[in-house]
Structure 1
Amino acid sequence: MGGAERTARKQRQQKAARRAVAQARGGDANKKMIVAVIGIVVLAAVVIGGVLWTNSSKNTTAGQDVTPQTDRVVGGQVVEKRDGAVVLVGKPGVKQVVDVYADFLCPACGQFQELYGKKIEDKVNNGELGVRYHMVPFLNKNSDPPGYSLESANAALVAADFGKFTPFHDSLFKDQPEEGKRGYDKAQLIKLGQGLGITDPKFAEGVNGGSYEKQLIDDFSKTVNDPNFKGTPTVVYNGARVEYGDPGWLDKMLGAGKG
């Protein structure tokens, strides 16, 4: 084989080697591109799935009825009287009266109601205790959309005008929405009232029209300046804040009041 042939053969081999390297590199690039595309698709699926799950979780109260707590009623001779933005529940002439400040969206208020709600109501029904309920829009911006704290408080005041504050109050805490998510809309609040036996169309008018919302806002602006108010729930008795961490606080409070 002559020198020219050897040179030509060598050149062909070098070209073939370069083509092989180029093809290998191209294959690697294609593989990398495929992996990248798959990664993007998987990420998109995760993001979309997360958004769908978040929206579903946020809207768990949509289309859901609040279960009417029809067994939670005031006893004989117990009166529910709305005074502005406050509802007094108790027998006429009751001597020991406690103020309870709560928000229907507040998780701690829900826990307070679960722990002490029935105990308080039993003492109201037997004449030992009266309660001034202050349903405050403390977390009004913390629902999605905002406004549930105010709308639910207003609906509870309207329910009080029809003697249904206690079961309405207890029903909203029993099926309490999660803070940061959707509350119940006005139609759902109206349906709850109807489920508790309120048939007068003025109830729906009061809920839809926000009859007491201005009073609630004005009253709350005073409440936040009260040194006893430390957020929700707050319990005040004889002008002093009550520490309710002790499970026996209610009996101790009433016992001290009798002394």
Structure 2
Amino acid sequence: MDLAPGRRAAPPRFVLPDVSEKNPERKRTARERLAAERAKQQAAEKRRRALIVGATALGVLGLTAAVGVIAANAGKDGGAASGPVAAPARTGGADGLAIPVGEDGAKATLTVWEDFRCPACKSFEDVYRPTIHELTDSGKLKVEYRLVTLIDGNMGGSGSRKAAGAAACAQDAGRFRDYHDVLYRNQPREADDAFARTSRLVELAGRVDGLDTESFRRCVRSGAREGWVAKSNAAFEKGDFPGTPTVLLGGTNISADRSMSPAKLKRMVEAANKA
């Protein structure tokens, strides 16, 4: 599994693991789909870099215009959210920037840096979700989700930040995992900033039992958790990670392991529990 970015100079890569070793045709089709997503993200990165280079080439006379471009896009970058850093309930990690799922006493910890607008993140979730749920429900694995707003910066918009903020509001209600899964199952096209609409985020909350309450709606509409999301994204930027999704098992980056699969992850977690 080679999970890689939408923000670095190198083109994003996501080598889908063996979804089914007995079905090579399905595996090949999945890899072709991921290759197409990689090409789209690479094109977006080239457009963004071309804009930066073009603004720089304007020189002194173009400085004001360049600053205008930066200012106009500042509010669209997930890291540009203003307001207090109000963390959701029951956060984890030494920095308080992780949303934990699973038993605190689990002997294996999986850290997942994700962006709700990231197509490769959706692919990871679609393939690994059943295994991760099985391992967390059995008490063998704890997952620490760390929310990133990388696509907002690459493609423009605020859907990554808004969706992450809504997911943090769902954590307040004790419904993070279910809402997290609903967001990925209903992820819009990468260029479609549908998650920027609070009405859409509230609508999706209706698919999670007990989540669509007045307190949740107020939390989402006010952006109460978006300052915390911006802090999480800043930690990602400082972490020198290759991109999203970045997946760590016990602190070891398993994202670049091309042999990784749900079955292999399960074996690794079970080995950690036996140890």
Measured against the shorter chain, the TM-score band is 0.5 to 0.7
Q: Which residue of 2 aligns with 1:99?
A: 111
1:82·1:157 contact (CA, 8 Å) conserved in 2?
no
Alignment partner, residue 215 of structure 1: 228
Task: Extract unaligned runs of 5+ from structure 1.
Answer: 1-79
Larger Rg: 1
Aligned to 1:249: 264
Which amino acid is 2:91 matched to? R
Counterpart in the other structure of 2:217? 204
Two-structure CA RMSD over aligned residues (Å): 2.0
Note if contact 1:100-1:236 (Cα within 8 Å) is conserved in structure 2: yes
> CA separation in 1, counterparts of 2:151 and 2:198?
17
Paired residue for 1:126?
138
- Distance in 2 (CA, whole Å) between partners of 1:113 and 1:89 is 14
Report how far residue 112 of structure 1 moved. 0.4
Q: Which of 148, 154, 179 in structure 1 is aligned with 2:165? A: 154
Which residues of 2 match residues 1-259 of structure 1 at below 5 A? 81-83=90-92, 84-142=96-154, 146-184=157-195, 185-196=197-208, 197-227=210-240, 229-243=241-255, 245=258, 246-247=260-261, 248-257=263-272, 258-259=274-275
Deviation for aligned residue 1:255 = 4.0
What is the deviation of 1:205?
1.0
Question: Could you give the per-residue CA deviations for residues 215-258 of structure 1, whole angstroms, max 9, x where no partner exists?
Answer: 1112221222224x221001112222113532133124314424
What do residues 200-225 of structure 1 show as CA deviations (whole Å, max 9, x unaligned)? 31111110111111111122212222
Q: Deviations over 1:141-168 (max 9, x none)?
A: 3456x00000000000100111111111
Rounded Cα–Cα distance in structure 1 between residues aligned with 2:207 and 2:250: 36
1:85·1:212 contact (CA, 8 Å) conserved in 2? no
5+ residue gaps, structure 2: 1-88
CA contact (8 A) 1:148 1:183 kept: yes
Rounded Cα–Cα distance in structure 1 between residues aligned with 2:103 and 2:116: 25
- Aligned counterparts of 2:117 and 2:212: Cα–Cα separation in 1: 26
SS at match of 1:181: coil
Q: Which moved more, 1:123-132 or 1:185-194?
A: 185-194
Q: Counterpart of 2:206 in 1: which secondary structure?
A: helix
Structure with more contact order per residue of length (Cα contacts < 8 Å, sep ≥ 6) = 2
Provide the C-alpha distance between the structure 2 equivalents of 1:158 and 1:217, rounded to a whole number of angstroms.
14
TM-score by length of 1: 0.63
- Alpha-carbon offset, residue 118 of structure 1: 1.4
Q: Which amino acid aligns with 1:254?
A: V
CA pair 108-150 structure 1, distance change in 2 beyond 3 A: same
Decide whether the 8 Å contact of 2:202 with 2:212 is kept in 1: no
Q: Structure 1 residues 177 and 199 mapped into 2: Cα distance closer, same or farther (>3 Å)? A: closer
Q: TM-score normalized by structure 2?
A: 0.60
Q: Is the 8 A contact 1:85 1:134 kept in 2?
A: yes
